[in-house]
Amino acid sequence: MAENVEPGSRPRQAVKLAASVLAADFALLEAQAREALAAGAAWLHVDVMDGHFVPNISMGPIAVRALRPLANETGAFLDVHLMIEEPDRYLEAFAEAGADILTVHVEAGRHLHRTVQAIKELGVRAGVALNPATPAAALAEILPDADLVLVMSVNPGFGGQSFIPASVHKLQQLRRMLDAAGSSAWLEVDGGIKPENAALVAAAWANVLVAGSAIFGGPHSIVENVAAFKSALGLA
C-alpha cells in the first residue's frame, strides 16, 4: 500500500522556468530563445501540434534540430511537448532531432505504457500530460515510469489563454501521487502562466513553469518579463 505522504515531506526541487518558443517571433527564434535563457529561463519548451489532436498546427523535428545547438551551448534543457495523435510514429524523429524529453498525452494514444517505454529506449526522458478535463487518476499506473508529469492549465492548441483555476487542485493531487510513489519526476504546468500566478502554482508543488506569451509578448522586453517571474518566485 502506498504511504500517505503530504506534499513537501520530500525535499522541494528548485523551480525552473521553461520558455515556450511557440510565442517567440520565428524570424528571431534563435535570438529570442537565447535572450530568454540568458535572462534566467532554464528550459526551452517546444509545442508540437498536428491539427488533429489540437486545432492548430505548429512545428516539427526541424525546429527541435534548430534549437539543439543553442541548448548544447547554454546547457538548456530541450522540453518537447507532443500534442499529436499517435505520437509513436514520430518519437524517433524527435529523439534524433535532439529532444531531451518527449512528453505525450494520455488522451492521444491507446497504449501509454508502450509509448513511454519506446521513448526511453531511444535514450530520451519520458513525460506524460493531462488535458484540463482528464482526472489525475488517469496517470496512476504510469507514474513510476514517468520522468515528468505535465498539467495543462488551459485547453491545448493556442497560446495566450487564461489559466484554469482548478489546475491548482490537480497539481496538488499529482504531487501527492508522485510522493506516494517515491517518484522524483518533475511536475510541470503549462497554460496561462504569468508572474501573477507563478507563486500560486509553485505553492501547489509545480516545479517547472511553462510560459510563452508572458515571456515573449507584451509591452516589456524578454529580460524584463523573465525578471518578473524570478521576482515572483523568489529567484531574483
Give per-residue burial for 210-222: e unless 16+ CB within 10 Å, then b. bbbbbbbbeeeeb
Alpha helices per DSSP H over the chain: 29-39, 61-74, 91-97, 112-121, 167-180, 195-203, 213-216, 222-232
Catalytic residue from among 50, 79, 179, 190: 190
Question: Is 88 among the residues known to form the active site?
Answer: no
182 by DSSP, 3-state: which? coil
Cell digits for 8? Answer: 513537501
Catalytic residue from among 47, 50, 79, 179: 47
- For residue 36, CA distances in Å to 33, 71, 150, 180, 224 come to 5, 12, 21, 35, 10
Question: Is 190 among the residues known to form the active site?
Answer: yes
Active-site residues, by number, are 47, 190
